[in-house]
Structure 1
């Protein structure tokens, strides 16, 4: 597979949407400003000119309304991709997402499927304040019936979005606003990435660092710093938290005997706590020190950029926790 072409994360998502719409005429897109404007982060740029207004549907500012329309469209045979501009706005449509889309197949005894993807973006880093900077993946992961995806690279973004559209069930596809301009190698050839398969972004022998989305790059930067001090860190990108690839983490911990989990979301009740519990339950004998977590403070995300950096995890925080795990602090 050729991977010498470099494009942005946003362009990779755009390609995934275009390719899947060409492949399957049942794929449609709904959302605010996704048509003529091309999406607030240019992910749907050019699609309305190619596929028309019957398949690229600009909606009113009503997340509950157009998400519900997406659920209904999916139940009647279409494959909608619903874009909610900011993950914070999913709270307006929680009934449609978690009570309807996630449960409909179960409640109908499998007679009804909801093959839809809800694309949205979250995370901090831009000083967008408390209502536009949250990382809410654990909320969706806690409710059975919906899969949760959060890619960290352009390659993963394209392959995971294509697979999510084909998955045949509701998928929350969570992008990070700070990743849209990130560039990476993406092959022109057709490919998909199965959900529930973590990726080892860097091999190591002294400690395992598990992360997701933008924090994967922070973890890789921390691993590079640690290498200068003779510490070998293995970095795992979960890519999805539903399904959760615990086996890859367990295999790594069996080798390194230490685990540090890095999440941009708030520390309490997050997916990191779930993973820590699973490793404690299933791999306790492999651990030489407690599982440690690096996460956002349990406060609303500040508007002020300096305060925001104090609240959100930074590379230095990861380095510090790794050293604590190794008892070298």
Structure 2
């Protein structure tokens, strides 16, 4: 049996379409279809069924998919054993958007310098999306905030850094405190259903703050741009927030360590654990390097809890 055909089948199963798998594998769609048909002919069963514009696994397809992933992992482990001391092979890393523009670039530089044999692919997504990808075996590790619930036992959490909650405001907006600015300006809210949004909600609830909401979205970089354009203020974890090309901002600490977002890596072990740990080392080495910071103004203060009313 051709393991390359099994790898193609797994890509189709994960992508939900031949076109998506072809794009991922850098193959022609016709070639992907030929490999799937050859595999089905060899196994004498249908593995995929059409569903809308994509495909879904048949009952036999689900069984073969699970076995194929296990087999491909064992084949990969054999390749690693044949090259002791030299890390190589594919590594799929999921990352939230703020990690992509902060901690990931230095880590990729270290990986390119130290482990040129590792074929590293970075997959963007929200925290919830990345966890689902990890559960389905579509990625090997994920850079995401620490979840507010217990992870499945097969997953391991490794903390990287704490990102303190800050109020981001237009530089020209007058105000002395976080509470005062939240009362004076419209509030641009991080999606309350997101893991980070829950931290923001907890801060507002604990401090009995009810700002006037203007927008709610799950895109922190876009929120910073809206703030810089003078549309309002926002509460965000400080992942290295800097002013965009157009506009100026300032940041005020909010709430202290209790409301910090813990950024880390979620992984599931397995045959690529050595590659995952190499990437974790690259991440920590990148974090140890100096990074650009936005200076806090002289009036930066932490908010004080309101008295009940």
Give the TM-score normalised by structure 1.
Answer: 0.31
Rg comparison, structure with higher value: 2
Higher relative contact order, structure no. (Cα contacts within 8 Å, ≥ 6 residues apart):
2
